[in-house]
Structure formats: structure tokens, C-alpha cells
Amino acid sequence: MGIFDLPICAIVTGANRGFGRELCFVISSELPANSTLVLLGRNRDALESEKKELASKTPSINILIFHNFECNRLDTQSLLQFFNDHDNLFKDLSSLLLVHNAGSVGDPSQSCVDLGLPQVTDYMNINFNSMVATNSIVLNKFASCKHKTVINLSSLLALQPSKSLSLYCSCKAARDMFFKILAIEQPLCRVLSYAPGPMETAMFNQIRNESFDDELKKMFQDMVPVNMTDSAKKLMALLKEDRFTSGDHVDYFDF
């Protein structure tokens, strides 16, 4: 049975802009009627207008917004309450797709030795700690779901060091390892770390404009970015083919 053959609950973090937003449109086009798409973010206006646009394109699915998804200081109680409040929409669904997309790049003008405890703590809260907590809340909430798939938005930079991106690279590597362990602990859950390729988003522009490393800046200035829709569709193709080894890191350019 394919991932989108039966109604499913799909949850995307950082859904309001960049790749997360694009992914919501591509996922919604795959969802069978009576599925539920949950947008997690902290920009209420952007989420509301995205919901409107999604609803006009895919009226047969339910779309929910949680607009209190502030990763610096995640309110886990209100996130759990939100899922409990919508139990009626989830209780009959046998499949879950959770996409951990939200993320930040840190300050690329700083080198390893510029970093102090407040920056590291803040960065890890946004990109690791809140992600782990969200993952636990959702997987426990949907524990009885028969088919569960978890996607970690990873990067080539999880594997490859880059000057000026020490926290970004280190955190992406840590996330990849976390999801490898989730895959072995939860053999019934399909887990994938997907590196979407370089895409022209706010994050991409921040590296291109603000890195202290001129070589990296030049590399980003000369780079031909990947089209976001193409990358989102490649991820959908990977999920539908379902041939990846759970826990693996797969790159847009791998296939």
C-alpha cells in the first residue's frame, strides 16, 4: 500500500515560507480526500493566507494551523493540547507523515571561536531541541497509527564541513544521527533524512550575503539553485517508491 493511498495526517513544521510552504502545496496535491494537513509555524498571517490558498486548491482535505510554533521556546503543552483538541480529525487515520522542516542557519558572519553559550543554546533550541520534543509529541500522539513516516530536512552540509556554518553543519549532522537512531528504535516507522539541494530561499540568501568567508559567498553567488517544486516533488517520488533504507540520508542529486 502506498503512502498516499488512504487518508493521512501530514504535518509540516516551518510551513509558512520557503521550502516548507512549497512542500505543503506539493503534499496537499497528493493527499486523498478526508486527509488532514497540519501547518506548524509562528507567523499567523502567513499561515492563514496559505491555508486559504491551499483550501481553494484542495477542498477535499482538512487544513489545520498551529501558529504558536516558536522553536526558541517551544510551548510543548500547547502543542500537545492542539493535537488533543483535534482528535476527532485524527482518530480514524491510519497513516502519519511528519516533516521536520523548520530551521535557521545561524549567523554566518561568525566563526567557531566567536560563539558563546547564548548563541549556541538559542541555535540548538531552534534546530535540535524543539525538533526532538515535537517528534516525541507527534509520535506518541499517533502511536496507534499503522503507517508512520518521518522526514528530517537535512543538507549536504550534514556531511561536509563549511567555514562560517559551524552550528548549521554540526546540528544537521546531529539531526541525521538522531533520525538514524529513531529508525533502529522504531522499525515500523519509515525515517528519511532528505537533503533538498540548494534552493533560493531566505536561508540561501543569508549565506550568500552574510558569510564571513569570501569563497563560500562566491560559491553561493555562482550556484544555480534547485527549483523548490522539483525538490519537493522528488521527495514525494521517494516516499511513493518507498525503497529507501529507513534512517538513510538521501540527497536531491542522488537520483
The footprint of ligand NAP (CB under 6 A) covers 14, 16-20, 41-43, 69-72, 101-104, 126, 153, 155, 195-196, 198-199, 201-204
Per DSSP (E only), the strands in the chain are: 8-13, 36-40, 62-66, 95-100, 147-153, 189-195, 248-251
How far apart are alpha carbons 123 and 190 in whole angstroms?
27
The residue number with the shortest CB distance to ligand NAP is: 18
Nearer to ligand NAP, 177 or 202 (CB): 202
What minimum distance in Å lies between the beta carbon of 155 and ligand NAP? 4
Cβ neighbors of 67 (< 8 A, separation 6 or more) are: 41, 42, 43, 44, 47
Phi-psi category of residue 205: left, alpha or beta, with phi > 0 → left and psi -120 to 50 → alpha = alpha
Nearer to ligand NAP, 95 or 155 (CB): 155
What minimum distance in Å lies between the beta carbon of 211 and ligand NAP? 13
Query: To 5 degrees, how large is the angle CA 195–CA 152–CA 117?
Result: 100
Nearer to ligand NAP, 37 or 199 (CB): 199
What minimum distance in Å lies between the beta carbon of 129 and ligand NAP? 11
What minimum distance in Å lies between the beta carbon of 102 and ligand NAP? 4
What minimum distance in Å lies between the beta carbon of 100 and ligand NAP? 7
Nearer to ligand NAP, 102 or 150 (CB): 102
Nearer to ligand NAP, 147 or 208 (CB): 208
C-alpha cell of residue 191: 525515517
C-alpha cell of residue 55: 483550501
Contact 92, 62 (CB under 8 A): no
